Amino acid sequence: MPEFTLHATITTPYSQVTDLLRAWQVPKRYRFWLRQHRAILINGRYRYANRPVLVGEHVTLHLDAPAITTYQPESTPVTVAFEDAQVLVVVKPAGIKPHPNQPGEGGTLMNAVAGYLAPQPAYITHRLDMATSGLTLIAKNPLTQALIDQQLAAKTMRRSYVALVAADIPESGTITAPIGRDPDDRRKRQVRADGERAITHYRVLERTATYARVWLTLETGRTHQLRVHLAYLGFPIIGDPLYAPQSHASRLMLHATELTWHESLGDATHTAHSPAPF
């Protein structure tokens, strides 16, 4: 069973160890496990949950988790945009799947990441469409995965994209149309009254005679949200095979260009960048 050790140095005092874990938003199941296994150490020694933690003290968490067998490691090169002890941010190429859909499937981003991180496991957080390129964050341990998932759910992780659309799109705007499944095509989503809440912000970065380059920020994260919202607005992304089939381009012109998240254990905020390849 893989074992993990996480380290942090305290920058804010806490009256109890429990308060520290809550401030880090460690899920309740992990807080219980750490206490039960005496696996939270302060300056190298176990400290009871009701004892204080002081600035400058060093915290170590020990975890274990079942082995990950979903991703078979492959030697495909990965482009690393950011890496530290807890996370890896890579640039997914357009045209490859983010992860396997069935046992033994290869050629996906997560197979390549598993090869890069081997023998340590990889834990996926958010996903990009197969046709979309750009930044993808992978956790290096299950606790960091849970903490990143909470940031996604709370919408504190910021994800921004660059896309190409028709040149006459308005200068900026916010699209709030709800999104649900397309009953006629299981691959697609559509704007519908009974859909889930979805919010997209956009602004034009550049215009030419043939296209506009737009900056897109997700406030929610529905499947195909950017693609559906821009098509609904009347400006589908150039090269989109599902929502702009009449458009002719070498690929879907959508790239995840900026990603901002909070450090798993601590107060720091990190941002990764990847320029659009179009």
Active site residues: 129
Classify 62 as helix, strand or coil: strand
- For residues 193 and 13, give the distance between their C-alpha atoms in angstroms, rounded to a whole number: 48
Q: Is 210 helix (H, G, I), strand (E, B) or coil?
A: coil
> What SS3 class is residue 231?
helix
The span from the CA of 168 to the CA of 41, in Å, is 59
Question: Residue 23: CA atoms inside 13 Å, Cβ hemisphere, count?
Answer: 15
Total count of residues recorded for the chain: 278
Q: 213 near 205, Cβ under 8 Å? A: yes
Structure tokens at 92: 């997914």
